[in-house]
Structure 1
Amino acid sequence: MARLVVIYKTPKDPKAFDDYYFASHVPLAKKIPGLRRYEVSEGAVGSPVGASGVHLVATLHFDSVQAIQDSFRSPVGLAAAGDLVNFADGGADLYFFETRAV
């Protein structure tokens, strides 16, 4: 399995971010080919030293890193990636990696 983790930093207007993210971005992203599961953080995203500056963390599950890369070359994947400018004005970091149980 593989994961794509998107860390959204605190936006200028958190309510506007949430409204757009859940009404528009999530339905689009859920159509990405190869997506197996989509999870988001709920509530505050903290750190061991206090406030994190992170508003939301999304974790998308795929079969492999190659599947992630292929999915974001698709029309829907390109549209989902391009949609970030519509709501993620605080910035977003994306990371993808293979996983294994330990």
Structure 2
Amino acid sequence: MYVFTCLYHHPEDPRAFDDHFFTVHAPLARKVVELGLRSATATRLDPLPDGTPPPFYVKVDIAADSAEALQAAMSTPEGRAAQADMANFAQAGFVMFTGEVVDEILPEFPRDA
């Protein structure tokens, strides 16, 4: 499995970020995922247990079967539209990176057993 991660810096106006991210950007991203990727998750990060603010505001992970599958989806008109939309809400900046999953820790038994 191959994962694309985007970490969004804290926006000046969190409400405006959330409004655009969840009503405009997420539907664009959904179209990219529906092109054959595994999944996408967006996590609004909480403070650490000691109350320290997290270093980023939102983390997005997009999972694909391979780097090639991810690149193919991101190169489509839908992928380019989602990438271009980032300029409309991510003025505080972001950090992106990709990588291959090298280990996955799963429970040995079903949780509801």
- Matched ranges for 1:8-87 at <5 A: 8-32=8-32, 33-44=35-46, 46=48, 50-87=52-89
Partner SS for 1:50: coil
Report the alpha carbon displacement of residue 47 of structure 1 after superposing the two structures with TM. 9.2
Amino acid at match of 2:87: V
Report the alpha carbon displacement of residue 49 of structure 1 after superposing the two structures with TM. 9.5
State whether residues 9 and 90 of structure 1, in contact with CA within 8 Å, keep that contact through their aligned partners in structure 2: yes
Shift in CA distance, 52/83, structure 1 to aligned 2, threshold 3 Å = same
Higher strand share: 1
Which residue does the alignment assign to 2:97? 95
Report the alpha carbon displacement of residue 69 of structure 1 after superposing the two structures with TM. 1.3
Identity of aligned residues (%): 31
Per-residue CA deviations over 1:54-87 (Å, capped at 9, x if unaligned) read 1100111111111111111110000100000000
Partner SS for 1:54: coil
State whether residues 25 and 83 of structure 1, in contact with CA within 8 Å, keep that contact through their aligned partners in structure 2: yes
Structure number with higher relative contact order (C-alpha < 8 Å, ≥ 6 residues apart)? 1
Query: What TM-score does the superposition give when structure 2 sets the normalisation length?
Result: 0.80
Q: Rg: which structure is higher? A: 2
Q: Which runs of 5+ in 2 are unaligned?
A: 105-113
Distance in 2 (alpha carbons) for counterparts of 1:53 and 1:99: 23
Shift in CA distance, 52/68, structure 1 to aligned 2, threshold 3 Å = same
Q: Runs ≥4 in structure 1, deviation > 4 angstroms?
A: 45-49
How many residue pairs are counted as aligned between the two chains? 102
Distance in 2 (alpha carbons) for counterparts of 1:66 and 1:47: 38
Distance in 1 (alpha carbons) for counterparts of 2:74 and 2:89: 19
